[in-house]
Structure 1
Amino acid sequence: MKVEQAGKSGSVRERGLPHLRPIYVALMLGVAGFGAHAQGSPAAASNAEASKELPAVQVRRSAENPLGPGVGYVAKRSMTGTKTDSALLTNPQSVSVVTRQQMDDQGAQTVDQALRYTPGVYSQDGTDIRFDQLYGRGFALDSYLDGLHLYQSPRFATPRIDTYFMERIDVLHGPASVLYGQGSPGGLVNYVSKLPMEQPYRELMMQIGNHNNYQLGFDFSGPVDKNGTVLYRLTGVARTAETQVSAIKDQRLAIAPSVTIRPNRDTTFTLQGSFQRAPNGGLFNPVPAGATLFSNPNGQLGPDKYFGDPDRDGMHRTQYWFGYQFDHAINDKLSVSQNLRYLHIDQHYYQTSVTSALGSNQRTVSMWGNVDNEHYTQFEVDTHAQARVTTGAVQHTLLFGLDYQRSMLGDTEGNSVLGTVDLYNPNFSSLPTQQANTRLDYSLSTVGVYAQDEARWRNWVLTFGVREDWTGGNQQTTLLTTGTGTTYHTNDHAFTWRAGLAYEFENGIAPYISYSRSFQPVLGATYSGAPFAPTKGRQVEAGLRYQPKWFDGYFSVAAFTLTQDNVSVSDPNHLGSAIQTGQIRSRGVELEAHANVTADVKVIASYTYLNQEVTNTTTPSSLNKRPTIAPRNTASLWADYTFHRGPLRNFGLGSGVRYMSSSAGDAANTFTVPGRVLVDLGAHYDIQNWRLSLNLNNVFDREYISYCTTASVCYWGASRTVLGTARYQW
């Protein structure tokens, strides 16, 4: 049987677990009944009932799995924006999707690399691989895995998920507290796990690249029994690599098993887990602007030098988590779902790093020492019910939910200025070893209840949601030498809401407008002892989307104004203390295009304009100035052409270009970080069960500073990388 998806013909292998939507169930039953073969999976199971030859049948698919890999470079449905299976076309906020094929074609080994072509998203994009540093619309982005928060600890123990374990990546732009609780106003990144599949799938993956980059991976999935009641998936990866700085190593050993049990067509229960060990989890490498961006009589410091003690510095971490996803359809109108996860990290981290601008001799800097022995735990559970009802001519998708989130940290740590070093003739052995001298105990809990209504009347779609959260937290700092310290408590509640209205024209054009809010608890207190209030964000977004009828594509343009209040700033009357009078405003426009233009051509394009400004602060030098890190303009274009006929059949060539304009170098905007244009290339060739590919990023080896936060803390961007990949599937 030949299966044809919207805008793309050919056989199909559905990756990811179906969530028993009626159209999808019908499709899968049809595929099973006629013995369809999976794309790229010659060993797909046939059905005994289809043993006799049948005439060719074409099935046109009008919907896709919202947790699946997408089709080529295009995804049209998502669970991230509404926690329901909804179309991106009428979603109340912008959602960008990085499909599995995009990650594979671009050779993305990290989340930073996977999001390089996503509008409004930017990162450190360099050698700092300790954790994913993602920003959107001028603010930090929160990370989620399968809809549950991956909290970042107040220190360094941050959960990390390997891209090889991901089916897709969704980026929800702007405040999202109405569904997800506490979070940044910039939005969130949701990693969607690879889940068990109905049809057998087996893959071995081998990669080799410059900077001594070696990686092996495997991905096995399929049914355990002949009826498909139990499905399994086992994915693993092992990597050892250096970065452009040989002293900074990236080593990882990880495995992720999962089992899906389906006792009947209405119930799905998936057990998941992962274990990850990083003997070398990366370091960061700040450099002063005075020896990188500006001329220096002693010469410039290059991007391949490490300015720390390579003999003592290192990060070692162990991470594991387990949980489940449960879905049950009570009837064709009502269903319930529950996601649960427990996660734990043990991390040991020691580093020396530059912490001051160059001295008067333009050679020496002060060095900072940092030691952390962290034990970090997260527990989360999210339960919600979904109902589809009709009132007159209005169709409603109702969502009611309750979630609980708790994170705890115990950290024996210490940090201080260790001394000075001549960066042009460093001798780190003269520095003393930083000792742990403080115990930090931290906990934060949140309970939230939420409700949402997606109401459709004719071509109108109105989305309205409300949420109430209650948070409680403690942060206790104890000096190990004296046993004394400070304790902060917070008990807050926050009401957030969102409303969006879209109109879907018959030609595939959909204008929309929305308003959303966010909140984020802040542990700490003013000089007088008053606890900090949560920061609050609010956003107005309006835009236009287009989903053409005549080819497989998705296009969007969004304009937004986003404000964050209660930002902590320096207390002008008490040195070393803070108050909450700060405000930051972001305004901008984002354009995005994903298209499978033909069976041969796939294209991704994006452009972002961001005007961010500090609109209230106690520091006059930064008032009405641009915050650091965020560039004003970013643009990207990636295209892939694959030959399906002729002598070059099964050969594909991809190319991309990325542009980032200048950004502010410090809070007072006394200098800027120059912009850059980077070029990427990719090639791939399919032969029998093999796919061979080659990726080059930053082809011309452009040396550039990614961003600065002060004159003494700047970061080099990534130099040229070369990665060869061989995949064997059967």
Structure 2
Amino acid sequence: MATVWLTAAAAHAQQAAADGAATLPPVVVKAAPGAETSGYVARRSTAGAKTDTPLVETPQSVSVVTREQMDAQAAQTIDGAIRYVPGVTTQDNDIRFDQITARGFDLSNDTYLDGLRLMRTTWYATPRIDPYFLDRIDVVRGPVSVLYGQGSPGGAVLMTSKLPTAEAFHEVQAQFGNYNRFQGMFDLGGPVDENGTVLYRVTGLARDADTQTDHVREQRLAIAPSLTFRPDKSTSFTFLGSYQNDPQGGLFNPVPAAGTILPNRNGRISSHDYLGDPDRDRSKREQFSLGYLFEHAFNDSFKVRQNVRYLHQSLQFYQNSLFGSLAADQRTAGLFTNNNDEHLTNLSVDTQAEAKFDTGAVNHTALFGFDVQRVTNNVSRGFSLGTVDVFAPDYRNVAFVPDITKQYIRQTQYGVYAQDQLRYRGWTLTVGGRQDWARNENTVDGAQTRDQQHAFTWRAGLTYQFASGIAPYASFAKSFQPGAGTTFDGTPFQPTHGQQYEVGVKFQPRGWDALFSIAAFDLRQKNVQTTDDDHPGFTRQTGQIRARGFEAEARVNLTDSLKAIASYAYLNQRVISAGIGDPSAGKTPPTGAPSNMASAWLDYTLHRGDWRGLGFGAGARYIGPSWGDRANTFKVPSHLLVDAALHYDVRNWRFALNASNLFNREYIAYCNSEVQCYYGADRTVIGTVRYQW
């Protein structure tokens, strides 16, 4: 295990001591390899290679959101925590689950916790993690299938839990905000015995809040205990558990383009209007997990690891009213309802062996692994029939049909992978390959379909690190996603394949606590499903999507007082082939990914004088226009959002006030079609009181 000094706390303590203030001693936290962060900057990561690797040696774009950044910006969701990452778009207003795209591709099934996938199916039971329970979030952009198996070519979001600490650490927090938001949290950790053989940590949270959407509430009660046993310096076993209960888990609220970003002669639909049935619609979610992280080093050259997690989620009483196309009067719409009762289970096991050895002047870090991922979901579904006036809804004549369909879904993946990182002087060559076998079973009202698929993926990347800290690189990587379902004639869908070429430069200047990066990429996905115009209601695999662009990011701790983040991303995404008559051919997919995005965040804290401990933060996020439908007939306007923070640290206390979307701009975050647009978050104000000892 590696020792991590929380440099911000240490700097505060040293300066305050110089000024004669009473302070706590610096906090020391033991962290797993690759978890080291300082302020807003991380130097190492396991996300891009599954080995403890410097970020400048990783031949792929990786951004790390640190715990300090999450605290400084008062992140309440994973969407909100990663909104300053280049090339990433988030909806930031759906409390049911995270909606994330990277480089124009959906990452809804590409989130990981402690290296293991949080798997979902095509319905609504989706594991969700509160950011308060995390130590960091690594966002890898581009294919990661070689290490993690099936996934989007856009990348993955890899979260790291708060783990037991070698030094005593305790905090309690209270937060309050607009929309009647009240939240209490605690985070306690430290050694159980004098020798530090047994370490513990327990983190908890309770939340009750309204939301910007009328009739939609948010409630959460969650706790995550963990225990680390270290019988010797070579062995570590960490047991992880969690329980989360969301009595009010949020509701979906799509709105039509006509009345939001397009004219509607009947008026405007605001971000507060809930268009569903407030008397019937509801959502209740319960989730728990058990698992462990095991590592044993036989010597300095060879070690083994195994990560295991079982997760179960029950999505009970989930009913959400949605609308179809608007009639000619622009107010009457057909109504349908997702009336689901779901029971989702995840089982993930990842076993790894890592060996370090030399062949002449070449140093090797070789990784071999075998993983198993299984997800099952028992679903009872109903629906509703009728039409509703969107501007004056009356649901009394809508016929609801509960539990009409029973469905059982089981998806299993086995994968074996190998990777070698070869280092010679300033050169690092990373090569890896993986073979996957995937099996899908789908049973609807007793009728079962099965299909089996397999795929081989590989990647290669070359980096050269100059003495100045400049590290140019080039890489190639492939991805795959199993296809679920069949064409009209019963032919099973083939896996969707992706591949990416990426070149870039990373710069970690000597003597600076900073990381700069720029990357250009060409990313393609084929076997994309497109509409089958000859057989309405069916799809076929004739599509191919191409995404090209570049991204730049700077993360800098300029001084012990000033920290900064800045990013820019450009994306050119096109459907370069589609089915005959498909209106998306030659167009930009309506993924919510704009051509241009930029963001910047600065935080300044005084460490001298009478106002020492006082700090200010400010940020801006520009999200350019994006297309709203497959035929590219209308655009979602651009928006510029401003965030701000004010905080004051004195002795053991921290007082903070955060405002996201400070000027309360009402905006549509993205659209999938002319009847499915989604409002972004209005102004959110959160006050925090924290005590640490």
Common topology (TM > 0.5): yes
Tell me how far apart the structure 1 counterparts of residues 485 and 101 of structure 2 sit (CA, whole Å): 24
Shift of 1:8: 7.4
Correspondence for 2:295 = 327
Which of 439, 459, 471 is residue 406 of structure 2 equivalent to? Answer: 439
Correspondence for 1:192 = 160
Distance 1:316 1:400, change over 3 A: same
Shift of 1:358: 2.5
Shift of 1:66: 4.4
Q: Confirm whether residue 638 of structure 1 aligns to residue 605 of structure 2.
A: no
Which of 583, 586, 589 is residue 624 of structure 1 equivalent to? Answer: 586
Correspondence for 1:410 = 378
Tell me how far apart the structure 2 counterparts of residues 551 and 40 of structure 1 sit (CA, whole Å): 27
Shift of 1:250: 1.2
Tell me how far apart the structure 2 counterparts of residues 421 and 246 of structure 1 sit (CA, whole Å): 18
Could you tell me whether the CA contact under 8 Å between 2:362 and 2:422 is conserved in 1? Answer: yes
| Pairing 1:419-430 to 2, within 5 Å after superposition | 419-430=386-397
Shift of 1:709: 0.9
Tell me how far apart the structure 1 counterparts of residues 435 and 481 of structure 2 sit (CA, whole Å): 13
**Which is further off, 517-526 or 361-370?**
361-370
Tell me how far apart the structure 1 counterparts of residues 306 and 673 of structure 2 sit (CA, whole Å): 45
Tell me how far apart the structure 1 counterparts of residues 34 and 192 of structure 2 sit (CA, whole Å): 22
Distance 1:40 1:658, change over 3 A: farther
Counterpart secondary structure, 2:37: coil
| Pairing 1:501-540 to 2, within 5 Å after superposition | 501-540=462-501
Could you tell me whether the CA contact under 8 Å between 2:291 and 2:308 is conserved in 1? Answer: yes
**Which is further off, 274-283 or 617-626?**
617-626
Shift of 1:726: 0.7
Q: Confirm whether residue 262 of structure 1 aligns to residue 230 of structure 2.
A: yes
Shift of 1:4: 11
| Pairing 1:444-523 to 2, within 5 Å after superposition | 444-478=411-445, 485=447, 487-523=448-484
Distance 1:266 1:191, change over 3 A: same
Could you tell me whether the CA contact under 8 Å between 1:321 and 1:344 is conserved in 2? Answer: yes
| Pairing 1:49-68 to 2, within 5 Å after superposition | 66-68=33-35
| Pairing 1:568-647 to 2, within 5 Å after superposition | 568-618=529-579, 619-628=581-590, 629-647=592-610
Deviations 1:123-179 (A, max 9, x none): 1122x2111111101111210000000012221000011101000000111110100
Q: Which of the pair is proportionally richer in strand? A: 2
RMSD after superposition: 2.0
Could you tell me whether the CA contact under 8 Å between 2:530 and 2:582 is conserved in 1? Answer: no
Correspondence for 2:10 = 10
Deviations 1:461-495 (A, max 9, x none): 000001111111211111xxxx6x4x321111110
Correspondence for 1:135 = 101
**Which is further off, 545-554 or 63-72?**
63-72
Could you tell me whether the CA contact under 8 Å between 1:335 and 1:386 is conserved in 2? Answer: yes
Could you tell me whether the CA contact under 8 Å between 1:202 and 1:219 is conserved in 2? Answer: yes
Q: Confirm whether residue 245 of structure 1 aligns to residue 213 of structure 2.
A: yes
1:578 corresponds to which letter in structure 2?
T
1:673 corresponds to which letter in structure 2?
V
Deviations 1:206-253 (A, max 9, x none): 000001111101000000000000000000001111111131111110
Counterpart secondary structure, 2:396: helix
Tell me how far apart the structure 1 counterparts of residues 669 and 114 of structure 2 sit (CA, whole Å): 30
Could you tell me whether the CA contact under 8 Å between 2:36 and 2:43 is conserved in 1? Answer: no
Distance 1:191 1:7, change over 3 A: closer
Correspondence for 1:174 = 142
Distance 1:492 1:379, change over 3 A: same
Tell me how far apart the structure 2 counterparts of residues 401 and 525 of structure 1 sit (CA, whole Å): 32
Could you tell me whether the CA contact under 8 Å between 1:320 and 1:345 is conserved in 2? Answer: yes
Structure 2 gap segments, 5+ residues each:
14-21
1:281 corresponds to which letter in structure 2?
G
Which of 179, 182, 202 is residue 234 of structure 1 equivalent to? Answer: 202
Shift of 1:200: 0.2
Shift of 1:69: 5.9
Which of 42, 46, 50 is residue 79 of structure 1 equivalent to? Answer: 46
Which of 298, 304, 309 is residue 336 of structure 1 equivalent to? Answer: 304
Q: TM-score, normalised by structure 1?
A: 0.90
Shift of 1:428: 2.3
Could you tell me whether the CA contact under 8 Å between 1:383 and 1:403 is conserved in 2? Answer: yes
Shift of 1:540: 0.4
Which of 651, 666, 675 is residue 703 of structure 1 equivalent to? Answer: 666
Correspondence for 1:52 = none
Could you tell me whether the CA contact under 8 Å between 1:489 and 1:523 is conserved in 2? Answer: no
Correspondence for 1:660 = 623
| Pairing 1:17-416 to 2, within 5 Å after superposition | 42=25, 66-68=33-35, 70-126=37-93, 128-141=94-107, 142-416=110-384
Could you tell me whether the CA contact under 8 Å between 1:236 and 1:255 is conserved in 2? Answer: yes
Q: Confirm whether residue 648 of structure 1 aligns to residue 616 of structure 2.
A: no
Q: TM-score, normalised by structure 2?
A: 0.95
Counterpart secondary structure, 1:113: helix
Distance 1:197 1:65, change over 3 A: same
Counterpart secondary structure, 2:324: coil
Tell me how far apart the structure 2 counterparts of residues 579 and 296 of structure 1 sit (CA, whole Å): 35
Tell me how far apart the structure 2 counterparts of residues 92 and 140 of structure 1 sit (CA, whole Å): 22
1:411 corresponds to which letter in structure 2?
V
Shift of 1:367: 1.6
Count, aligned residues? 679
Deviations 1:363-397 (A, max 9, x none): 22222112111111110100001011001110000
2:10 corresponds to which letter in structure 1?
G
Tell me how far apart the structure 1 counterparts of residues 270 and 169 of structure 2 sit (CA, whole Å): 45
1:623 corresponds to which letter in structure 2?
A
Counterpart secondary structure, 1:341: strand
Tell me how far apart the structure 1 counterparts of residues 182 and 336 of structure 2 sit (CA, whole Å): 32
Shift of 1:347: 0.8
Could you tell me whether the CA contact under 8 Å between 2:284 and 2:318 is conserved in 1? Answer: no
Tell me how far apart the structure 2 counterparts of residues 641 and 311 of structure 1 sit (CA, whole Å): 47
Shift of 1:630: 1.2
Deviations 1:248-291 (A, max 9, x none): 11111000000000000000000000011010111011111111
Tell me how far apart the structure 2 counterparts of residues 384 and 214 of structure 1 sit (CA, whole Å): 42
Counterpart secondary structure, 2:583: helix
Counterpart secondary structure, 1:435: strand
Could you tell me whether the CA contact under 8 Å between 1:352 and 1:367 is conserved in 2? Answer: no
**Which is further off, 618-627 or 647-656?**
618-627
Correspondence for 2:646 = 683
Deviations 1:7-58 (A, max 9, x none): 9793699xxxxxxxxxxxxxxxxxxxxxxxxx9855979xxxxxxxxxxxxx
Tell me how far apart the structure 2 counterparts of residues 90 and 268 of structure 1 sit (CA, whole Å): 27
Tell me how far apart the structure 2 counterparts of residues 340 and 5 of structure 1 sit (CA, whole Å): 29
Quick one: percent identity of the two aligned structures?
A: 52
Counterpart secondary structure, 1:207: strand
Could you tell me whether the CA contact under 8 Å between 1:272 and 1:323 is conserved in 2? Answer: yes
Shift of 1:720: 0.4
Shift of 1:434: 3.5
